[in-house]
Structure 1
Amino acid sequence: MNSAFLAIPAIIAGLVWTNKNKTVIHFTNLAGAAALLITSVLALAEVGRSKNIVTRGFFKDIFYIDSLSAYILFITALAFFLVSMYSISYFGEELRKKVITLSKLKLYYSLSNAFVFSMVLALTTQNMGVMWIAIEATTLASAFLVGFYNNKSSIEAAWKYLIICSVGIAFALLGIILLYYSSTIGLGSNKLLGLSWNYLLENASALDSSILKISFIFILIGFGTKVGFSPMHTWLPDAHSQAPSPVSSLLSGVLLNTAMYGIIRVMSIVNKSLHSSKYTGNLLLLLGLLSIGTAAVFVLVQQDYKRILAYSSIEHMGIIAIGLGICTPVSIFAALYHTFNHAMTKSMLFISTGNVYLKYHTKKISGVKGLVKTMPVTGIAFLLGSFAITGMPPFGVFMSEFNTVAAALFSRNYLTAALLLIFLAAVFGGFVKQMGKMFYGSNNMTELQTGELDKTGPFVLIILLCITIMLGVYIPEPIKALMDNATNIILGIGGK
């Protein structure tokens, strides 16, 4: 099954170049995304039965899937499938307007599959070295997607993204080297397994704790740069504002989760070695609150709707960090829950921005008026999505944020809870003040016709809106069981 996860995007990345018919190219990619989603569902079911999937033979120490990796894999595959469906609409319109060529479309699909391949590799390996290579590969693949339009602004954003994340990933490499070194001191006879997070977790008590602490700082800064933690976040608003909207959906919905996954794995090892979550928890709480506070300030002054959503991603990664930092069963479950909620809601919002941009030809908030009247489905989905992402009921984000605040109060982190509520209120106010201007009133662009561009984009938005509402009132039992097991894995209390 591990080979299927990696083979599907690798094959599709090459297969899209073998045809000159745009319809065939679109549906080749969609078929690959559907196959990846089906494979992730099968993995979810198998993990539910046997707790993990172990690769036999030569690669047995490299590939491994448990409840945590299966959960993030499912989110990744679901988001990629929905984005692939929307890409037919988005790039079909850009082909029609001759913004891109057929070769450019092939390049997009090839790079997006390479991007997904690297994320899947990071999520299915238990070797920290391979994980580092895979997360670095996500930077290389997605940098070309950020600079997809090859104009001055997009190339500048791509270079900024590439340089900042490459520096960050260098810090992560140093942290992984120190992590390996801590294992060679305590586990001298098993040096070949010193990069396996599963083996390190099982033998955490034998690791050198002082080196482990330093290692975690480097890994937190390194992978945290890719997550978008403040103050390492500066690449993220530029990248989102310049990338095509389907790419922004993948960057925000799944890439940030993959980098956070690397932090979670190391955090579990450090906590078990130190017999306490206080050390990692304090660092995560600090970065989490700083990230949410930064987002709250910058949301208030942005004039570009995609940049506002980018700062919202920084906020929500901060919320996940707070859940991990509190490190109780309730807070860890809330962090995992929030991961799913954010991925689906933010994907819906970035898809909405794609429709808005194709219709209004501007990313400026001041250039969009009367959206609900001009594009009824997109306008309503965008409006409801804005309420959802700011934590309004009955959407899923409200429930995971509520659980995070409750976990902070139950663990007597009163200052954390108070600051979190203040920052969340500020972000809500910023969204209402800035984004509210887009939805009502009448636009002054007489050439705009009322109606959606096609049926595919609105259909994807309706699916995502249904998911975000469902997650606010009900979590399917197989997903909940997976989240419970993943919570136990992170806490080191018996899940696999």
Structure 2
Amino acid sequence: MIAAFVVIPVLAGGLVWISKNKFFIHAINLIGASGLLVLSILSLININKYKVISSSGLFKNIFYMDSLSGYILFITTLAFFLVSLYSISYFGQELKNKVITIRKLKLYYSLSNAFVLSMILALTTRNMGVMWISIEATTLASAFLVGFYNNKRAIEAAWKYLIICSVGITFALLGIILLFYSSTVKLGGARISGMDWSYLIKYASALDPSILKIAFIFILIGFGTKVGFSPMHTWLPDAHSQAPSPVSALLSGVLLNTAMYGVIRVMSIVNKCLGSSNYTGNLLIVLSVLSIGTAAVFILVQQDYKRILAYSSIEHMGIIALGLGVCTPISIFAALYHTFNHAMTKLMLFLATGNVYLKHHTKKISSIRGLIKTMPVTGIVFVLGTFAITGMPPFGVFMSEFNTVVGTIFSKRYIVTALLLIFLSMVFAGFTKQLGKMFYGNNSNPQIKKGEIDIIGPAVLIILLCITVLAGIYIPVPFKELMENTTDIILGIGG
């Protein structure tokens, strides 16, 4: 089953080149994305039944999935499926307007499949070296997607993204080398075992704590750069704002989660070695508060609606890191829940910006008025999405943020709680002040006619809106059990 996760994107990314028919190209990619989603659901069923699933034979020590990897993989494949469906609408219009060619469409689908394949490999391996290579591969694949339009600003953003994340990932490599060194010096044994995170966490208590502390700092900086933690976040606003909207949705909704996954795996090893989460927790809390605060300040002054959403991603990854840093059952459950809620809500918002851009051909907030009148479905979903991402009920983000606040209060981190509430209030004020201008009033451009671009784009937005509302009022029992099992793995009492 795990092998199929690799085969499907390779086939889909290759088969798009055998025809010049746009319907065939869209269909091949959508079929591949659907297959990955079905496989991830089947994997979750098997994980709930057997706890873990792994490959045998030649790849026995490489491919492995438990509740944590299965959970992030499900979010990834669900997001990829919805983005693939939306891409039919978005790039269909780009073709119609002659912004791109058929060859460019093929390139987009090949790169997006390579991008998803690299994330799948990172999530389905228990070898730290393979995980590092896969996360670095996400940078290479997505850099071309960031610079997809080949204009000056897009190319500048792609280079900035490539350089900063490559430097960051080098720090992560140093951390992984230290992990390997610690295991071989203290435990000996087969060399490949020293790169196996399941082996490392099993024997974590025997590892050298001083080496692991240094290793965690390097890995937190390295993977944290890819997550978008402040002050290593500077690539993120440019990349998100210049990439095509479907790419921005994948960057925000799933790429950041994959990098956070690497932090979580190492955090669990270090916590078990030290017998406490205080060391890793304090580092994560400092970065989380700094990231949320940075995002809150910059959101207040942005004039580009995609850059506002980009800074919002920094904020929400900070909230996830805060839940992990507090490291209690309720806070970790909240962090996992927030991972799903943020992915779906940000997916909805970035795809909504795609509709807006196709209609208005600008990213400037000051150039758009009366969005609810000109694009009723997109406008209404965008308004509701704005309330959702800022933590208003009854949406999923409200529930996971509320549980995060409860977790910080129960852990007696009152100053952190106060700062969190202040920054969340600033974010809400920034969103409503800046984006609120777009939705109301009268459209001043007579060339903008009332109506949506097509049916598919708004349909995907409505699906995502239903998911975000449902996540705020109900968690299906199997999904709740999955997150509880994942919480146990992170706490070192399951897996």
TM-score, normalisation: structure 1: 0.99
CA distance in 2, matches of 1:363, 1:424: 24
CA distance in 2, matches of 1:121, 1:470: 30
CA distance in 1, matches of 2:28, 2:472: 34
Query: Number of residues paired by the alignment?
Result: 495
Letter in 2 for 1:282: N
- Deviation at residue 299 of structure 1 after TM alignment: 0.2
Letter in 1 for 2:451: G
The match for 2:94 is 94
CA distance in 2, matches of 1:23, 1:145: 21
The match for 2:360 is 360
CA distance in 2, matches of 1:192, 1:350: 41
The match for 2:291 is 291
CA distance in 1, matches of 2:191, 2:185: 9
Letter in 2 for 1:294: T
CA distance in 2, matches of 1:219, 1:189: 24
The match for 1:85 is 85
CA distance in 1, matches of 2:149, 2:310: 19
CA distance in 2, matches of 1:114, 1:190: 32
- Deviation at residue 57 of structure 1 after TM alignment: 1.3
1:81-480 aligned within 5 A: 81-480=81-480
- Deviation at residue 303 of structure 1 after TM alignment: 0.2
CA deviations on 1:193-234 (whole Å, 9 max, x unpaired) are 000001101110011110000000000000000000000000
CA distance in 2, matches of 1:366, 1:24: 39
**Residue aligned with 2:195, SS:** coil
Letter in 1 for 2:154: S
Note the residue ranges of structure 2 that are not aligned, 5 or more in a row.
Answer: none
CA distance in 1, matches of 2:247, 2:45: 29
CA distance in 2, matches of 1:188, 1:123: 26
CA distance in 1, matches of 2:27, 2:460: 15
CA distance in 1, matches of 2:65, 2:446: 55
Letter in 2 for 1:432: T
**Residue aligned with 2:260, SS:** helix
Residues 1:63 and 2:27 are matched in the alignment: no
CA deviations on 1:409-461 (whole Å, 9 max, x unpaired) are 01101111111000000000000110000000011110111010000000000
TM-score, normalisation: structure 2: 1.00
Letter in 2 for 1:118: S
Letter in 1 for 2:381: A
The match for 1:10 is 10
CA distance in 2, matches of 1:186, 1:485: 30
CA deviations on 1:247-293 (whole Å, 9 max, x unpaired) are 00000000000000000000000000000000000000000000000
CA distance in 2, matches of 1:323, 1:59: 34
CA distance in 1, matches of 2:409, 2:212: 29
Deviates more, 1:98-107 or 1:412-421: 412-421
The match for 1:38 is 38
CA distance in 1, matches of 2:256, 2:84: 19
CA distance in 2, matches of 1:479, 1:459: 25
Letter in 2 for 1:215: A
- Deviation at residue 184 of structure 1 after TM alignment: 1.1
CA distance in 2, matches of 1:426, 1:34: 39
CA distance in 2, matches of 1:243, 1:249: 9
**Residue aligned with 2:65, SS:** strand
Residues 1:75 and 2:95 are matched in the alignment: no
CA distance in 2, matches of 1:7, 1:420: 43
- Deviation at residue 191 of structure 1 after TM alignment: 3.1
Runs of 4+ with deviation above 6 angstroms: none
Letter in 1 for 2:74: F
Q: Give the CA RMSD over aligned residues.
A: 0.5
CA deviations on 1:452-476 (whole Å, 9 max, x unpaired) are 0000000000000000000000011
1:16-27 aligned within 5 A: 16-27=16-27
CA distance in 1, matches of 2:414, 2:301: 29
- Deviation at residue 47 of structure 1 after TM alignment: 0.2
The match for 2:28 is 28
Letter in 1 for 2:332: I
CA distance in 1, matches of 2:442, 2:186: 69
